[in-house]
Amino acid sequence: MNASDASHGTARTPATTQSGDVLVGVVSTGEPDPGRSGRIRDHLAGELREGHISLRRERPGGSGGRVVLVGGGPGDVDLLTIGGRRALAEADVVVTDRLGPIGVLAELDPGVEVINVGKSPGNHPVPQEEINRILVERARRGQVVVRLKGGDSYIFGRGGEEVLACREAGIPVEVVPGVSSALAVPTLAGIPLIHRAVAHTLVVTTGHDGLDPAARIAGDAIESGADPETPVAIVERGSTPTQRTTYGRLNTIAGRAEAVGVPAPAVIVIGAVAADGFLSAATRELGSPAEPAE
């Protein structure tokens, strides 16, 4: 007998991977094949890392409750971060808005409870104080609560208020950053917010309740000395199949937006980079290879 011949032994060392407090091992029951075990382990590790396998507990503990704020990006599920997906894989409860990657809700484990607290302009059926109460109360039950928000939780998302509410209640809370709609949506519309020799500074502000604030923004800018001919672009429903961009100038954009019926939410970009076809024009200015001589 050759003790060094593994093919004739019965001892097995599993190939392992860990995600949180879950340890997964892969072992052959027949002839040893470490390469195969390692390959399967690596595949499972990838699925766990990317949040494709539910990790939620079947028996929530009284002391294990916590809250995770997940910035979900502008709406396309592909723009939800891996960290966000991992958090959702552990969730017992998901408290969601009407914005963000709501398509991911269909991928949740059947036992996950979804609570919709979405707001729309002029319609806030669930006040922020009630949202805070839901987060705290569910975590006190020992549940893992994911607060799924559009964009990034700390950029016009009132995430700071929710974190403070949890901390004041003694609830463990963490924040998973998200892709901000303010930055991502113009990019998806082909608008570079920063462009050498054209735009060096980026200022992000907010307006609410649809067209009227946008009109006031344009009017205030003109009254403050901005050129009325400054290009403006309004991108609505960014990252979704119905994304649409409306172009105009400071002195015309309100009328154009009203004519096509721009709804909230939308991202408004003001500046030279917001001109229709800006990148195409910039490309032409760079010039093209010389035509060959005849």
Quote the pLDDT of residue 99. 85
Quick check: 15 and 34 in contact, CB under 8 A?
Answer: yes
Quote the pLDDT of residue 238. 93
Query: Is the fold of 66-179 the same as that of 182-280?
Result: no
CATH value of 182-280 in 3.30.950.10, 3.90.1150.10, 3.90.1300.10, 3.40.630.30: 3.30.950.10
Tokens of 262: 């721009």
Quote the pLDDT of residue 212. 57
Long-range contacts of 273-277 (CB under 8 A, 24+ apart): 273/191, 273/192, 273/193, 273/195, 273/198, 273/199, 273/231, 274/191, 274/231, 274/232, 274/233, 274/247, 275/231, 275/233, 275/247, 276/231, 276/233, 276/247
Closest among 168, 144, 161, 163 to 59, alpha carbons compared: 144
Going from N- to C-terminal start, the domains of the chain cover 66-179, 182-280
| Alpha-carbon separation of residue 64 from 90, 141, 142, 145, 175 (angstroms) | 12, 9, 5, 11, 17
At 3, which amino acid appears?
A
Tokens of 11: 């001892």
Closest among 272, 265, 263, 252 to 191, alpha carbons compared: 272
| Alpha-carbon separation of residue 185 from 5, 11, 151, 244 (angstroms) | 60, 56, 10, 10
Quote the pLDDT of residue 217. 81
One DSSP character per residue, 265-287 reads SEEEEESGGGSTTHHHHHHHHH-
66: β partners: 144
Quote the pLDDT of residue 30. 79
DSSP 264: S
Give dist(CA 3, CA 7) in Å, integer: 10
Give dist(CA 156, CA 178) in Å, integer: 12
CATH 3.40.1010.10 matches 66-179: yes
Quote the pLDDT of residue 98. 85
- The pLDDT tens digits of the residues spanning 165-197 come to 999 999 999 999 999 999 999 999 999 999 988
Q: How does pLDDT run along the chain (294 residues), one tens digit per residue?
A: 455 555 555 667 888 888 877 888 888 887 888 888 889 888 887 888 778 887 777 765 555 799 999 999 999 999 999 999 999 999 999 999 988 899 999 999 999 999 999 876 666 689 999 999 999 999 999 999 999 999 999 998 899 999 999 999 999 999 999 999 999 999 999 999 999 889 999 999 887 654 555 677 888 889 999 999 999 999 999 999 999 999 999 999 999 999 999 988 899 999 999 999 998 877 666 654 444 443
Report the predicted TM-score, pTM, of the whole model to 2 decimal places. 0.80
